[in-house]
A and B are shown apart, each in its own frame.
Chain A
């Protein structure tokens, strides 16, 4: 089975840094994805990790430790437009249709 946990909600101040943790226990692992979803909109792809370590993409970074079943998404220099839900998702292997299993999402509220 698949179990993915992330905090429900976080609040941070504009210009600050926020770290969103994601832990997973899955029967198969072929990569971990982070998506951003603004209220009333579709999720949009942010980052992908399949090997251990840090992937940096502008103000956003994502880290993966496969041995610990752990990932985090780091948002730096927070802007008001970063207020959204952030979804962690684990991908199964090709034999399982490359399916994604999503966590419940973390709603981030950025305050002035």
Chain B
């Protein structure tokens, strides 16, 4: 299995608070991705990174920002959480653009 972890695994927060999710890999892979998964919508890409300090938006990027200051870490930040951001968040990594390997996921609830 690919060495990819996510933290926290579960979080409950209140509307309007900032939240940061962390994805950490030990594989030295170039590409990293953040997805959210909701019933009826499947997996949707939020942001992705193709190298240190190189990031780009996915299809549902509004309300989210990311940073990648080291190869191994990719952070997803919700500046001011809203109830519509309640979801399961998955991080994924890929080497040379081949198959993506997914982390265990973070279940976020915004009350």
Residues of A within 8 A of B (CB): 30, 33, 41-45, 48, 87, 89, 91, 94, 97-105
Contact = CB atoms under 8 A, between A and B. Distances in A.
B102 to A, nearest CB: 4
A94 B40 CA distance: 28
The B interface is mostly helix, strand or loop, or mixed, namely strand
Contacts, number: 49
Interface of B: 31, 33, 40-45, 48, 50, 56, 58-59, 90, 94, 97-105
9 nearest A-B pairs in the assembled complex, by CB-CB distance? A98-B97, A42-B102, A104-B42, A102-B43, A45-B99, A102-B42, A43-B102, A97-B48, A105-B42
A98 B94 contact: yes
Contact of B41 (A41, A91, A101, A104): A104
A48 B43 contact: no
Given A99-B48, A102-B42, A104-B41, A33 B102 contact: no
Nearest to A43: B102
A48 B98 contact: yes
Contacts of A103: 42
A88 B4 CA distance: 22
Contact of A91 (B44, B59, B90, B97): B97
